[in-house]
Amino acid sequence: MHYAAKHHFPCEKIPLSDAQCILQAVKEDDDRGGFHHEHSWSKKNGKGHTHIIHRNVVPFLATDTVIPDRMRELFFARIQKHPFTNHFILAEYSGGANSYSFDHRLHKADFSYETTYKRFRKKMLPTTWMKRVKGIVYIKARQATRHVLNALSDVPEESGIMTGKKGWKRMPETFRLFGKDDFISSGFAEACTLHGGKIYTIHNDGTGKYYDSLNRVASLIY
């Protein structure tokens, strides 16, 4: 986004983000009693919660498949329906396989690329948007780096998430919900590049080198 603005490339002002869709899914769950996610302040008994007493929606923790499933529906419907323009569309989608053991209460939460790819194959999610993919920036980072960066981030206002300026701060337990990187092994990556889009892998080490890598890749894509 910053590279596009600096070099005057035509780009949509508000990117499409899984964070936007997850937030919507969480708020929908709240409207139904909050049975499929929890917060640091809510009870871990599966009986839901309310926000009658003002409490932040973010951060949160998905506890089963309901929120990730709804997020997928929202995200891929939006990217599928996005109108054709002369502008680049920036879309952010992240995932990974759950690394909790099967006897853990959080093992059912499924943000895996494998599940997403299977739903592409079963035509449960739209796929014609893939023809529009110009490039994919595949960002890798050590878990320790992810935790440090998350600890340094603040709790964003909802408006920051919806405009794509902020991500959602994660509860520490969240990282194991997508603790195993299955981006390549799942078939998801290959499916997204069938029409000529390329994958550019960069490493986020928490330093300025990461932004240098982003600018380098952006220059190749744009």
pLDDT of residue 222: 74
Percent of the chain with pLDDT over 70: 95
Domain 2-32+63-221 has CATH 1.20.120: no
DSSP assignment letter at 67: H
Residues of the chain with pLDDT under 70: 1-10, 54
Yes or no: say if 63 and 49 are a contact pair by the CB < 8 Å rule.
no
212-217 long-range contacts (CB < 8 A, ≥24 apart) are 214/3, 214/137, 215/3, 217/135, 217/137
pLDDT in tens, 116-133: 999 999 999 999 999 999
pLDDT in tens, 68-108: 999 999 999 999 998 888 788 889 999 999 999 999 999 99
Q: How far is CA 175 from CA 53, 72, 95, 217, in A?
A: 28, 18, 10, 26
Answer whether 0.85 is exceeded by the pTM. yes
